[in-house]
Chains A and B, each alone.
Chain A
Amino acid sequence: MKQFSTLLLKEWRENLRNYKIFWIPVVFILLGVTEPLSNYYLPQILDATGGLPDGAVIELPDPEPEQLLVAVMGQFQLIGMLVLVLAYMGSIAGERRNGTATLLYVRPLSYVSYFLSKWLMASIVALISVWAGFLAGYYYTAVLFSAVPFGEFLAFAATYSLWMVLVVTLILFASASMPNAGLAAGLTLAALLILQLVDSLFGNRWEWSPLKLPNYAASFLDIGPDAAALTWTFAISLACLIGLAALGIWFMKRNRAKTKV
């Protein structure tokens, strides 16, 4: 516990002094704001880019506010996730490779504490980012179009938060198990892409899958997800999270000999 707080302080200082705790949320806020703004100003944008041919009549239906929030989530799924991967891919592998880990690994270090301190800090940054981004999107959608019921919004953002924490756990697992940051990023992105592809191709055969978390999050804005399916998905997601963290800790310890001396 003492080691955990010492290491968490180190992670906090790193994220603060490398400005990660500022720039990552800013990216998410920009993603959250862009969606409602670009929809609201779509006629002006079309004009500015040359306008429509004379005589063309186009009806632009106001987008539903729910659609805008789901679109924001789509941005998070692509750009947001990429940002988190790039920010944390070297969290463990990088320290091992540049040799900064050596001076910690020679001490009676608790690898559980070390992994969890990194996991907690990265999760906090990811959660701040997701909530700041969603709240910004929610606010501009409400001002420019109409408001989504706040209760639905909370359920939506909370469910998506679990997904993001799971992604952070995957990134740290990859960073612990792979020899360098680039391979860790590769493993994370490949795993996410392949699993999402599999789930979208064959996903109609099962309802319980961590990969469906974003879908279930979105359905809170609609008719709401099936309670049983959601509960099981939560349970399986938590099991995956714990499993990935445990494997990550194991790999971190096993790979300590690969630290550059």
Chain B
Amino acid sequence: MNVLEVRSLSKRFGTEQAVDGLGFELAEGSATALIGPNGAGKTTTLSMLAGLLEATAGEIQRKKNLSIGFLPQYPRFFPWLTALEFTEMAAKLSGVDSKKARQQAERTLGFVGLGQVANKKIGGFSGGMKQRLGLAQAMVHQPSLLLLDEPISSLDPTGRREVMELLKSLLGQTTILYSTHILNDAEEMTDQLLFLQNGRLVEHGSLNQVRSRYADPQIRIRFENTNAAERFGRESPWPAAIQGTAAIIPIKAEGPIMQDVFRFLSVKSLPVVGVEQQTASLEDIFLKVVAGK
């Protein structure tokens, strides 16, 4: 069951094609990470899905009565309202019953860790607190789809961890589409990856699918000293790249497997510190995708 389906979605600003023929689906209760370099069209895409921008072409099919929560990259608030007043207003404007709105606002503020400052004016909030308040206003009406533009980029490591845990706890009942630069975190919470570049969807799929396409797994051997690494480079039958005390062998279809490497190392009795097989991180994949495969 999809909550949202997007087909050949395009947005043009003057002569600039910001988003070009985008198509994807969001399955109910899943997490989708939207990644891509600056200016790839992530914010424009999210703005169109949130209904702020009209698409130039294409269609967005939303599930019937789909309620959406939106967190912009830099949420701006009225500084003269308190966190509770703002969140309650957000709930009411999204159709929450007046009686329930306050209760729901209080609960949501507690959930994002702003319970202590609920009655403080937003004008005195730090960047991290505003980011949490942004999250609170996006989820106070318990929407079934959350659109989050860089929800964690401006948080410190502790805050990042907390917000990630919080978002994960929502998954299942809530569908989440978020853009991010923090690829470690995307790796941790994603059922679907959408790579955007120059407004186009250049790569997509589950993390494993994308990984296997770009994986190029490699074996990395660390030696005690550079001499050993260099000797390995000269004598091994495989094309090894030597980086200081380490040697890196790409695993191709015809290449070596672990056992071959171990056998070779013990025959030559080289001073080895460690051997590991590495898969490409999302960051490696990102760089490859952006560089044009």
Interface positions of A (Cβ within 8 A of B): 2-3, 6-7, 9-10, 13-14, 17-18, 98-100, 102-109, 256-257, 259-261
Point out which of B53, B81, B89 has the most chain A C-beta atoms below 10 A from its C-beta.
B89
- C-alpha gap A99/B78 in the complex (Å): 10
Our pick among B68, B77, B92 for the contact of A100 (Cβ within 8 Å) is B77
Residues of A within 8 A of B80 (CB): 13-14, 17-18
A257-B53, A261-B73 known; A6 and B92 CB under 8 Å? yes
Our pick among B73, B93, B134, B149 for the contact of A107 (Cβ within 8 Å) is B93
Residues of A within 8 A of B262 (CB): none
Residues of B within 8 A of A7 (CB): 93
Give 4 A-B pairs besides A10-B89, A99-B74 with Cβ atoms closer than 8 angstroms.
Answer: A103-B137, A105-B52, A106-B52, A259-B52
How many Å from the CB of A152 to the closest CB on chain B?
41
Is residue B90 within 8 Å, beta carbon to beta carbon, of the partner chain? yes
Is residue B17 within 8 Å, beta carbon to beta carbon, of the partner chain? no
Contact B81 A261 (CB under 8 A): no
- C-alpha gap A252/B144 in the complex (Å): 28
Could you jot down 15 A-B contacts, CB within 8 Å? A2-B92, A2-B98, A6-B92, A10-B81, A13-B81, A14-B78, A102-B76, A103-B70, A103-B75, A103-B137, A106-B51, A107-B93, A109-B93, A260-B76, A261-B73
Residue of A nearest to B92 (CB): A6
Residues of B within 8 A of A108 (CB): 93-95
Interface range, B side? 20 to 34
7 closest A-B pairs by beta carbon, nearest first, are A99-B76, A17-B80, A106-B70, A6-B92, A107-B93, A100-B76, A107-B94
Residues of A within 8 A of B98 (CB): 2
Interface positions of B (Cβ within 8 A of A): 43, 47, 50-54, 68, 70, 72-78, 80-81, 85, 89-90, 92-95, 98, 134, 137, 149
Contact A103 B95 (CB under 8 A): no
A13-B81, A99-B74, A102-B76 known; A6 and B89 CB under 8 Å? yes
- C-alpha gap A257/B54 in the complex (Å): 8
How many Å from the CB of B255 to the closest CB on chain A?
47
Residue of B nearest to A109 (CB): B93
Residues of B within 8 A of A98 (CB): 76
- C-alpha gap A22/B280 in the complex (Å): 63
Residues of B within 8 A of A17 (CB): 80
Our pick among B68, B72, B94 for the contact of A99 (Cβ within 8 Å) is B72
Residues of B within 8 A of A257 (CB): 52-54
Residues of A within 8 A of B70 (CB): 103, 106
Residues of A within 8 A of B94 (CB): 107-108
How many Å from the CB of B129 to the closest CB on chain A?
15
Residues of B within 8 A of A10 (CB): 78, 81, 89
Contact A261 B43 (CB under 8 A): yes
Residue of B nearest to A113 (CB): B93
A10-B78, A98-B76, A100-B76 known; A106 and B68 CB under 8 Å? yes
Residues of B within 8 A of A99 (CB): 72, 74-76
Residue of A nearest to B149 (CB): A261
Residue of A nearest to B53 (CB): A257
Contact A107 B72 (CB under 8 A): no
Our pick among B50, B77, B78 for the contact of A106 (Cβ within 8 Å) is B50
Residue of A nearest to B94 (CB): A107
A103-B77, A256-B52 known; A261 and B93 CB under 8 Å? no
- C-alpha gap A100/B80 in the complex (Å): 12
Residues of B within 8 A of A105 (CB): 52
- C-alpha gap A98/B77 in the complex (Å): 9
How many Å from the CB of A228 to the closest CB on chain B?
46
Residues of A within 8 A of B53 (CB): 257
Point out which of A2, A6, A260 has the most chain B C-beta atoms below 10 A from its C-beta.
A6
- C-alpha gap A261/B147 in the complex (Å): 13
Contact B81 A3 (CB under 8 A): no
- C-alpha gap A10/B95 in the complex (Å): 16
Residues of A within 8 A of B72 (CB): 99, 102-103, 261
Residue of B nearest to A15 (CB): B80
- C-alpha gap A9/B80 in the complex (Å): 13
Contact A103 B52 (CB under 8 A): no
Residues of A within 8 A of B77 (CB): 100, 103
- C-alpha gap A17/B85 in the complex (Å): 13
How many Å from the CB of A5 to the closest CB on chain B?
9
Residues of B within 8 A of A3 (CB): 92-93
How many Å from the CB of B41 to the closest CB on chain A?
13
- C-alpha gap A2/B94 in the complex (Å): 11
How many Å from the CB of A93 to the closest CB on chain B?
14
A6-B92, A106-B50, A257-B53 known; A13 and B85 CB under 8 Å? yes
- C-alpha gap A13/B77 in the complex (Å): 14
Residue of A nearest to B76 (CB): A99
Residues of A within 8 A of B47 (CB): 261
- C-alpha gap A103/B54 in the complex (Å): 17
